[in-house]
């Protein structure tokens, strides 16, 4: 590979504007440059695995470019777990070829593993490691831009950019709505009386409540649900491809988990939750308005409850929102 090609690859990686675009570009660069099968970029998550008594907390890996694929346990793949533990490149023989695993490190934390299969040359491996370093640095910069510094959830800027593609994907799936049993939902979670927490205990304790609250959310929802800190004590979550029974139970479980938690200094804190179906929706403002209307109903009824917009309308508890059926583009 000549210098011009190396520089062009770096330019390609550094001009990407989102983490997903960066991952796709990196996979394409590696595929074309080294004439290997497109690498898999595994995103690492920690989950609480209730299905097995042996696995209380497990690290899993899921293909960042194919979230529809099932996850794998890191310890089930020899090279992946070694790379994650050691923080270094690991090669595992596989017939006449090798499987290579490269750790992606962001601020001393391994967040992804790049896996590919090839017949490695020492010079190629060294160059791949350098490309992974460029990829890691740019991924971190994009994540800093899109993440709330306190909770590490996506921020409002990221929500504004992501919501239209989310709605488009949901509408695309509605072609076969008659056969579908799973849908997508958006919820707004608002910590009850949070201003009183700040006024009584100060903003440092308020920040501690927000951090612990976000941890409860992380432990309650799935690793691939989209969590946003929308502003102050208000959070938004997008849950994809679940049925109505699941979404009702998971929001109620989150509410109960928060109510049962003993927050240091503050004691008990509660949350109100309003949520709505986004399947087939075109207008992101209407979606937020519906969830917010359900949230407002919770506040009116005494807080510490969860309400489903469609249930409230069906039971004539609130008036339905008239949709414009026109998409609205958010800006950053």
**Per residue in 53-64, pLDDT tens?**
455 568 889 998
Q: Based on the fold, state whether residues 185 and 130 are members of the same structural domain.
A: no
Q: Based on the fold, state whether residues 132 and 201 are members of the same structural domain.
A: no
Q: Based on the fold, state whether residues 96 and 225 are members of the same structural domain.
A: no
Please answer whether residues 117 and 37 qualify as being in contact, where contact means their C-beta atoms are separated by less than 8 angstroms.
yes
Q: Based on the fold, state whether residues 203 and 230 are members of the same structural domain.
A: yes
In a domain, 327, yes or no: no
Question: pLDDT class for 328, splitting at 50, 70, 90?
Answer: very low
Q: Based on the fold, state whether residues 136 and 170 are members of the same structural domain.
A: no
Residue 307 pLDDT > 80: yes
Catalytic residues: 233
- Final residue of a structural domain among 123, 146, 169: 146
CATH number of the domain bearing residue 127: 3.30.450.40
Question: Which domain, by its residues, includes 171?
Answer: 156-314
Q: Based on the fold, state whether residues 106 and 180 are members of the same structural domain.
A: no
Q: Based on the fold, state whether residues 219 and 309 are members of the same structural domain.
A: yes
Please answer whether residues 113 and 71 qualify as being in contact, where contact means their C-beta atoms are separated by less than 8 angstroms.
no
Question: pLDDT class for 96, splitting at 50, 70, 90?
Answer: confident
Q: Based on the fold, state whether residues 222 and 308 are members of the same structural domain.
A: yes
> How much is the average pLDDT of 277-306?
94
- Final residue of a structural domain among 122, 146, 170: 146
In a domain, 65, yes or no: yes
In a domain, 321, yes or no: no
Summary mean pLDDT of the chain: 88
> How much is the average pLDDT of 193-219?
96
Q: Whole-angstrom Cα distance, residue 313 to residue 180?
A: 22
pTM: 0.80
Q: Based on the fold, state whether residues 163 and 307 are members of the same structural domain.
A: yes
In a domain, 228, yes or no: yes
Q: Based on the fold, state whether residues 82 and 170 are members of the same structural domain.
A: no
- Final residue of a structural domain among 146, 164, 180: 146
Please report the pLDDT score of residue 279 as a whole number: 83
Q: How many domains is the chain built from?
A: 2
CA nearest 191: which of 232, 139, 138?
A: 232
Strands of 132-286, DSSP E: 183-191, 226-231, 234-242, 271-277
In a domain, 330, yes or no: no
In a domain, 67, yes or no: yes
More confident residue, 96 or 157: 157
| Half-sphere exposure at residue 211, Cβ-oriented, CA atoms within 13 angstroms | 9
Q: Based on the fold, state whether residues 136 and 243 are members of the same structural domain.
A: no
Q: Based on the fold, state whether residues 129 and 199 are members of the same structural domain.
A: no
> How much is the average pLDDT of 60-85?
88
């Amino acid at each position: 590979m000549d210098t011009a090609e190396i520089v062009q690859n770096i330019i390609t990686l550094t001009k990407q504007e989102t983490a997903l675009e960066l991952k796709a570009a990196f996979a394409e660069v590696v595929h074309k440059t080294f004439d290997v099968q497109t690498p898999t970029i595994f995103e690492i998550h920690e989950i609480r695995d209730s299905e097995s008594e042996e696995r209380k907390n497990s690290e899993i890996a899921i293909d960042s470019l194919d979230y529809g694929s099932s996850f794998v346990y890191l310890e089930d793949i020899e090279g992946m777990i070694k790379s994650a533990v050691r923080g270094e490149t690991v090669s595992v023989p596989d017939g006449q070829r090798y499987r290579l695993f490269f750790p992606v490190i962001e601020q001393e934390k391994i967040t992804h593993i790049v896996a590919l299969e090839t017949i490695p040359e020492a010079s190629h491996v060294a160059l791949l490691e350098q490309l992974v370093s460029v990829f890691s640095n740019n991924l971190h910069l994009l994540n800093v831009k899109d993440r709330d510094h306190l909770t590490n959830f996506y921020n409002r800027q990221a929500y504004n950019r992501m919501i239209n593609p989310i709605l488009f994907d949901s509408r695309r799936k509605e072609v076969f709505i008659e056969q579908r049993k799973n849908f997508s939902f958006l919820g707004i979670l608002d910590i009850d009386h949070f201003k009183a927490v700040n006024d009584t205990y100060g903003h440092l304790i308020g920040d501690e409540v927000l951090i612990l609250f976000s941890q409860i959310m992380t432990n309650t929802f799935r690793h691939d649900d989209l969590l946003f800190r929308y502003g102050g004590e208000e959070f938004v979550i997008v849950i994809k491809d679940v049925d109505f029974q699941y979404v009702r139970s998971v929001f109620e479980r989150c509410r109960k988990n928060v109510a049962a938690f003993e927050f240091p200094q503050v004691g008990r804190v509660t949350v109100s939750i309003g949520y709505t179906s986004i399947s087939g929706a075109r207008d992101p403002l209407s979606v937020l308005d519906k969830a917010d209307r359900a949230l407002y109903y919770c506040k009116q009824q005494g807080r510490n409850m969860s309400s489903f917009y469609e249930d409230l309308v069906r039971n004539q508890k609130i008036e339905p929102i008239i949709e414009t059926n026109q998409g609205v583009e958010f800006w950053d």
